[in-house]
Amino acid sequence: MLRLLEAIGHKALTAAATIRDMTRLTGLCGVRGLMPASYNPAVRLVLIRQLYYTGVQILPLFLLITLGFGTGAVGAAVAGMLSMDLGDRAGGIVVNLLVLELAPLITALLVALRSGSAVDAELATMAQSGELRTLDLFGIDPATYLFLPRIIATMVTVTLLTGICALLVLTSAYLFLFWYVETGLNTYLNSVMDAVTGTVAALVLAKSLLLGFLVAFIPLYSGITGPPGLGGISVAVQQGMVRLFLAIMLVEVLTLGELL
């Protein structure tokens, strides 16, 4: 029993220390982000490259997966709505269920799998090879040069890709409704516009920005705090992705509770 209590206490202290360090690093990045001097030419170059890598290169794969998985989910949702004779409320249901929940989730997962793991491995490699210490020796702040541009680029990318995914979902839903029950475009658009309230739009935007922050921040934090040695790189990536997926699921649960 004593060993069990010791193990629980150790886990709790470790988790508390991790949360404290993540909060401190979040505050540091936030302060750096509000300082105009942080956006020097080197940082802007890293930001542009990260935007290209995270948002542009993923676009063909993102569109393909979104069209495939999103169309299947929309088809199932539309079939369920029609079976319950809810065709007249289709726009509102699509907005609340698919746009608010599905679009940010698909986007965050795809960006996490492609860019989150890469950021984790990159920062873990830099930490193990001593590059982070070298930056400190030259007076270069890693939070400004490494963390800030990656966080900003990922937040912007996830938000924009969520918007693209939402448009594809809304278009797919209309095509299904027109195919099955010949729903008029004006009727569908009116239903959608009635559902897209200021609260819903703000919630989608806030959720996208939060998920984008998590997709960048958790992997980079796990990368710089991984165990020493080359074997620590794979451990850091594994820990980072597990933490990230748990955080994404937590956000989904909280927003789902807000929706209900």
Tell me the per-residue pLDDT of 189-240, one tens digit each, with 9 for 90 and over. 776 777 677 777 888 889 999 999 999 999 988 888 877 776 778 888 888 8
Q: Is position 253 within any domain?
A: yes
User: What's the average model confidence in pLDDT over 94-111?
Assistant: 81
The stretch 134-161 carries a mean pLDDT of: 87
Q: Does position 22 have pLDDT exceeding 70, yes or no?
A: yes
Sign of torsion over alpha carbons 215, 218, 224, 227: negative
Per the structure, the count of domains in the chain is: 1
Determine the residue type at 175: L
* Positive/negative CA dihedral, 154, 155, 157, 161: positive
Within a domain: 53: yes
CB–CB of 49/41 below 8 Å? Answer: no
Q: What's the domain range around 98?
A: 40-259
Here the tokens at position 8 are: 């629980």
Q: What is d(CA 224, CA 236) in angstroms, rounded to the nearest whole number?
A: 8
Task: Note the pLDDT of residue 181.
Answer: 60
| Top-confidence range, 55-59, 100-104, 112-116, 154-158 | 154-158
Indicate whether 28 belongs to any domain. Answer: no
Please check the confidence at residue 125 and state whether its pLDDT lies above 90.
no
Q: For 95, left (φ over 0), alpha (ψ -120 to 50), or beta? A: alpha
First to last CA, the chain: 41
Domain for residue 15, yes or no?
no
On whether the CB atoms of residues 77 and 93 are closer than 8 A, the answer is yes
Query: Is residue 70 predicted with pLDDT exceeding 70?
Result: no
Answer whether residue 163 shows pLDDT above 80: yes
Q: Is residue 179 part of a domain?
A: yes
Lowest-pLDDT range, 25-34, 154-163, 242-251?
25-34
Is position 8 within any domain? no
In this prediction, residue 1 carries a pLDDT of 65
Distance, CA of 35 to CA of 256 (rounded, Å) = 35
Question: Considering only CA atoms, which of 242, 252, 213, 240 is closest in space to residue 106?
Answer: 252
Residue 7, domain member (yes or no): no
Q: Is residue 122 part of a domain?
A: yes
Return the residue matching tokens 């090879």: 129
Q: How many CB atoms lie within 10 A of CB 169?
A: 25
Q: How far apart are CA 236 and CA 213, in angstroms?
A: 18
Dist CA 177 CA 13 (whole Å): 53
Q: Please say if the pLDDT value at position 87 is more than 60.
A: no
What six digits make up the tokens of 204? 């989608």
